[in-house]
Chains A and B, each alone.
Chain A
Amino acid sequence: MARVKLDNYVIADAPRLGLRGWLRWIWRQVTSMRVALILLLLLALASIPGSVLPQWPQDAAATRQFISDNAFWGPVLDATGFLDVFGSAWFTAIYVLLFASLIGCIAPRAAHHYRELRRPVAATPRSLARYEGAGPETVASSPDDAVAAARAALRPRAGRLGALTGYRVRVDRREDGSLALAAETGHVRELGNLVFHASLVLVLLAVAYGTLFTYRGQAIVVEGRSFTNAVVAYDTFSSGSLFDPADLDPFTLRLDSLDAEFSDTGRPLHFQANVTFTEPGEDAVRTDISVNHPLESGDAKIYLQGNGYAPVITVRDAAGEVAFSGPVVFLAQDAAYTSTGVIKVPDVSTGEQLGFKATLYPTFLEGPFAVASIHPDPANPVIEMLAYTGDLGLDSGVPQNVYRLDESQLSPVQDADGQPVTLRLALGETVELPDGLGSVTFEELPRYGAFDLRADPSLPYLLVAAMLTLAGLAVSLFASRRKVWVVARSEGAATVVSGAAYAPAHDAGVAAVLERAMAAAAGREATAPAGEREPS
């Protein structure tokens, strides 16, 4: 016990908080509405850097660039999680606290609501003067009939969600002989509120479940080639920590052709991959994949995420032997599909290794100062390339980017004047390299499709949780919370009926309900609601 000064006159013995007391105090703080509000605002505020600064998960290249461009702030922001906001400790802390607050708030409320539902309706207040009232009206029928009529009027109309949205009613015979009807509705509002908040927890759980079991891979497939679904076949592959690679369905996907339509101005109109899809033990199916129309295979979906050109290049070495032949994936750099690619030729029979940095112009146009592609369609495809000789660095064991040439041990092939030689090849052409190094042929120009395969077993659960969230939210905001009272008492031979209603300020419809009940009690036609029109 500690002596605590309550005010200037009273000093009382108050219990020390102790560990349990402190924990309880902290819990009470976390679950208070005020703290929930502050956490919500913090959540909004903390999200904003995630849209302003480059983020690792969204764009690793831009993030790396940002860090190297900003010698001081780059590493500082990276270390403090600002370059991966939504995976950072502080963002996680905010939403974990928020959900703790939410659970701590709705669990007791759910229990309270359950008890509330079982409790009888509160009796009609002694005086109705505090509330928006109606009457008194003198009616002919007896108090019992008047109240019974009012009660019938408050019964939900047929066809509506009556049982849920109807009024719970109680009738008391008071000491003064009057009959008091108390009706209230609004329990679905709180129910919706609870469903909404509980469903948010379900959403979070579904997302967490998905994160553990999801997998996603990217693969580039050139026209006429196939892809077999296995982790090693992907260019990149990532998965949740509980994903088992043996779960991959070993289907084969052959890209028969890739249709790419462009308008005359080069705007993309339609992309479609025509594929042959074969699941093990089943017949091959010819189908197509296009943007917004993924191919579904079991749990997984296969998306067409990109496309481009993969020119087939053949390189002959100094001895005239074919040292390289095959499609090379070029990455489009602009809307006219000016694309860049790299050809690495390590397996030459004589001499040094060869490397090429190439640019493809699908519709080549040479101006006075520059060359460009003017349309993404291959109307006049030309490849320009720079050749290098030396060591490609492939034997060092360090994994290399296939789209980049490591020039550290390479030297550009030069002409007699010592200038680097730019080779230019139209489709079908062969160009000899200087100094008898060999030749390069531009054989064909197939397209490729960039496919994305993704499976997330949580999606059905997430959808259900989301729909529950929406339904709960709508009910919690639109269901009305109203109380209506009608009191009837005998005055001589006549019966005097008065009524009152209570609803939150934004609910203007309650007046009509009260009028309905009053009209029924008085046995007259309900007047049209005097209007929610406010004099202004």
Chain B
Amino acid sequence: MNPTDLSVMALGGATVLYAIAMVAYAIRLARVADDKVAARAAVAVPAGGAADGLPVEAAAPASSPGAKAAKAAGIARSTTLVGAALHAVGLAARGIDAGHVPWSNMYEYTISGSFFAVLVFLIVQRRRDIAFLGAGVTGFATVALGLALTVLYKDVDTLPPALQSYWLVIHVSIATIVTGIFAVSFIATALQLMRDSRDRGTRWTGDRVRWLDAVPSAPALEALSFRLNAVGFVLWTFTVMAGAIWAEHAWGRYWGWDPKEVWSFVIWVLYAAYLHARTTQGWAGRRSAWLAIAGFAALIANFTVVNLFFQGLHTYAGS
């Protein structure tokens, strides 16, 4: 088996495993929410109808509280881990096949960016229980890998002269890692907004989104996404600076308002606004969360719209 086939097959396998993990994580969320309802019912019943024999029924599921959720969580975690391992194999094979780091065109950015998103999730998961983000992260990785393999796929090719620089390793690797971090924090922020709406009773109140009860409270989600965004913002600042140094090296100017540079600046400013908004009265909470969402939207636009539709010095990114 040659490296090309190995890479594509490993990435295809990772896609399938991520899809399974996404379903398992979703089931886990639903089970946890069910358990919460059951637990609440178990507490509520003795007050009302202890005589109807209802406590017996209520006690039955309580004998194995969280067993189904734990089973789903186990499946989810192991498929994610194996998926990430396959993903890593796919990336490494691609790099060996191409003879350079696997982030020099859109296909390669996509497969490495989604890998870093999963990796960030797994690293944070080791330190604190963030299984509630699992469905979002594996879903993101499934879609990204699926799109990469079907739409964006490009055969390996040599690096064009403009990319023959060690700055490709520094600047672009950090940029892809940041994309992964911001993707995970985006999911946390989205959950925060949904959970917040549910708690206020404004939106997402229905029974079909009862799984939202299984995610942490809005302030806890805010604290989580802030920590990720803080790391992401520092690394993004580094990305922009490293990019400027490389641009000075390659193009003879450190900043030239090329479309990619414009959008990198917009992303930086939006996340800076988010960090300020967090500590501003009237902006903390929902409004600052929307700024983080806007920042991630700009990040995605910088990767898609700018690569595909705008003319600029970074055009090889679209090839």
Contacts and interface: CB of A to CB of B under 8 A. Distances in A.
Interface stretch (B176-184, B196-204, B258-266): B258-266
Contacts of B132: 536
A253 interface: no
A216 B256 CA distance: 13
B270 interface: yes
A245 B273 CA distance: 43
A470 B262 contact: no
Contacts of A504: 223
Interface string A40-54: 110110011011100
Contacts of A50: 257, 262
Given A301-B252, A470-B237, A506-B227, A292 B162 contact: yes
A86 B265 CA distance: 12
A40 B272 contact: yes
Interface in B218-274: 219-220, 222-224, 226-227, 230-231, 233-234, 237-238, 241, 244-245, 248-254, 256-259, 262-263, 265-266, 269-270, 272-273
Interface string A461-482: 0110010011001100110000
A508 B128 contact: yes
A278 interface: no
B193 interface: no
B269 A47 contact: yes
Given A292-B165, A459-B248, A466-B241, A532 B128 contact: yes
A454 B310 CA distance: 27
B157 interface: yes
B234 A37 contact: no
A282 interface: no
B164 interface: yes
A47 B252 contact: no
Interface stretch (A265-273, A416-424, A432-440, A485-493): A265-273
B266 A40 contact: no
Contacts of A270: 161, 164
A536 B216 contact: yes
Nearest to B298: A44
Contacts of B231: 477
Interface string B302-316: 000010001100000
Contact of B249 (A44, A294, A508): A294
Interface in A362-378: none
B253 to A, nearest CB: 7
Interface in B127-168: 127-129, 131-132, 157-158, 160-162, 164-165, 167
A58 interface: yes
A534 B279 contact: no
Contacts of A51: 257, 259, 262-263, 306, 310
A270 B167 CA distance: 17
Nearest to A39: B273
B84 to A, nearest CB: 21
Contact of B257 (A55, A305, A466): A55
A37 B288 CA distance: 10
A44 B32 CA distance: 41
A532 B227 CA distance: 14
A263 B226 CA distance: 47
Nearest to A57: B257
Interface in B267-319: 269-270, 272-273, 275-277, 279-280, 282-283, 291, 298, 306, 310-311
A126 interface: no
Chain B interface size band reads: 35 or more
A477 B230 contact: yes
Given A37-B276, A294-B249, A534 B220 contact: yes
Interface residues of A, number: 57
Contact of A462 (B215, B254, B263): B254
Given A47-B266, A51-B306, A291 B252 contact: no
B8 interface: no
A454 B256 CA distance: 14
A411 to B, nearest CB: 37
A532 B128 CA distance: 6
A263 B282 CA distance: 59
Interface of chain B, main secondary structure: helix
A290 B161 CA distance: 9
A36 B128 contact: no
Nearest to A504: B223
Nearest to A452: B252
B266 A470 contact: no
Contact of B127 (A44, A48, A86, A532): A532
A102 B226 CA distance: 22
Nearest to A62: B311
Nearest to A86: B257
Nearest to B244: A466
Contact of B273 (A37, A85, A216, A290): A37
Given A292-B161, A303-B252, A470 B127 contact: no
A505 B157 contact: no
Interface in B54-94: none
A536 B258 contact: no
A533 interface: yes
A98 B276 CA distance: 13
A431 to B, nearest CB: 36
B223 A505 contact: yes
A130 interface: no
A33 interface: yes
Contacts of A118: none
A470 B268 CA distance: 13
B214 interface: yes
Given A466-B241, A534-B216, A536-B132, A271 B257 contact: no
A463 B241 CA distance: 9
B128 A533 contact: yes
Contacts of B266: 44, 47-48
Nearest to A532: B128
B280 A263 contact: no
Contact of A267 (B128, B131, B160, B253): B160
Contacts of B127: 532
A34 interface: yes
A58 B245 CA distance: 19
A41 B237 CA distance: 18
Contacts of A291: 161-162, 164, 250
B252 A454 contact: yes
A44 B129 contact: no
Nearest to A43: B269
Interface string A80-117: 00000110000000000000000000000000000000
Given A40-B272, A48-B262, A505-B223, A33 B165 contact: no
A290 B131 CA distance: 50
A506 B250 CA distance: 41
A58 B256 contact: yes
Interface in A446-460: 452, 454, 456, 459
A195 to B, nearest CB: 13
18 contacts: A40-B272, A40-B276, A41-B269, A41-B270, A48-B262, A52-B310, A271-B161, A290-B161, A292-B162, A294-B252, A303-B250, A466-B241, A466-B244, A477-B231, A477-B233, A505-B219, A536-B132, A536-B216
- Cβ-closest 10 pairs across A and B: A506-B223, A51-B262, A51-B259, A40-B273, A291-B161, A477-B230, A292-B165, A44-B269, A505-B223, A533-B129
Given A474-B234, A505-B223, A536-B215, 7 more contacts: A37-B283, A51-B259, A452-B252, A469-B237, A470-B241, A477-B275, A505-B219
